[in-house]
Structure formats: structure tokens, C-alpha cells
A and B are shown apart, each in its own frame.
Chain A
Amino acid sequence: SQQGEEDPQALSIQEGENATMNCSYKTSINNLQWYRQNSGRGLVHLILIRSNEREKHSGRLRVTLDTSKKSSSLLITASRAADTASYFCATSSGDKLTFGTGTRLAVRP
């Protein structure tokens, strides 16, 4: 079963706009990560946030983590057409990495 559930399932925005994706999970975690997957290919690691962190930045990416609500959000600012992909959150608890169902982001040029 999936630990994380992303919301929304699909998102379509105009180039230059910001995109926000949310992830909710059920059990306590050590850390949470976000991955990107381009059209049926392998996953690319974007960013990791530890359970004792609340916010983290990497370039145009901003991730927040609220452990009290068991949720995280990924914000992509000033989106580009190349950001079109599926985005997955993954939670780590012990040795296991559990992925959510993903958000499909489409950025229109």
C-alpha cells in the first residue's frame, strides 16, 4: 500500500507560474524526499528533508514538512516547460522507502 498520497493527481500551469504539490503520509518518518520522473523513465532525486526540518530550498524548489499534520509540499517557482514530469514523494522509515502515487505536472509554454 502507498504511504504517501500526492495531491493533486494532475496539475496544468502556464510557463512562469508556480506549481505546488502536496503529499500526505500515515506513519512517523525519518525523512521525506521528492523525486521527478520524466515520461516513463527513471526517477531523479530532487530534495530530501529530515523529520526535524521544516523547510528546505534547492534552486527553484522549496519543500516544507509538517510532521504534526503528516504532510509535505513541493513548490516549483517560475516553472519551465522542462519541468513537465511526474513528481513523487517518498517517505523513509527504517530501511524502507515508500512512494506516493505522484502528481503529473504539465507546464504549457
Chain B
Amino acid sequence: EAGVTQSPTHLIKTRGQQATLRCSPISGHTSVYWYQQALGLGLQFLLWYDEGEERNRGNFPPRFSGRQFPNYSSELNVNALELEDSALYLCASSHRWSSYEQYFGPGTRLTVT
């Protein structure tokens, strides 16, 4: 069974640009979660999507947004990039009723210069 995949592995952007990160969940999982992990810090919950809807959102500004497609894959968009957005962005997936049992992808390292 294929795990959670994320692309790209690395992304370098300049301040003010937009970044798009992608995630494909494990087959059969309908929920996708996005987390931000700044250097040396723990994971901060960003967004949760299930069945195409945004179910929960962490304490992040509106320039962090995303969507989930009919095949349950997801995109995270970060607009008007700031230097402090540089981080590892992790995607996880789960079954809808097992949100505590999340499986993580390898992450996308976003660097904003």
C-alpha cells in the first residue's frame, strides 16, 4: 500500500510570491491534514479537509488556504510569502472516523528568501 506522498520535496520562493504544495493521501483515506514545522519547533496544525470540505483550521492567517479534490488529494496554498513561512510542511491522512490515527508524508521543505 502506497503511503502519503507530497510534492515537491523542496520549494524555494521569494518573499511576496505564492507557493503551492500538493499531497496525495493513502488510498481509502478521506481526510487530509496539513501541518507546519518551523526549524527546531513542533508541529503546528494548519488545516483539515475531509470529503472536499474544510473541517478545521489552526491559528494561521487567511493567506494560508487549501482545497481537497474529488480524489481526496489536497493542495496547500500560501500567498504573499513571508520569510517566517520557511518551514517543513507535512501532510497526513486518515480515515474520517479515525482522525487520531494519522499517517504522514515526507514533507515539503519551503524556503522563502
Contacts and interface: CB of A to CB of B under 8 A. Distances in A.
> A and B from one assembly?
yes
Interface of A: 1-2, 30-31, 33, 35, 40-45, 48, 88, 92, 95-102
A100 B103 contact: no
A101 B41 contact: yes
Given A48-B100, A88-B43, A95 B109 contact: no
A91 B61 CA distance: 24
B55 interface: yes
Give the 6 A-B residue pairs with the shortest CB-CB distance, closest first: A92-B100, A99-B43, A101-B42, A43-B104, A42-B104, A42-B106
A100 B106 contact: no
B88 interface: yes
B48 A95 contact: yes
Contacts of A101: 41-42
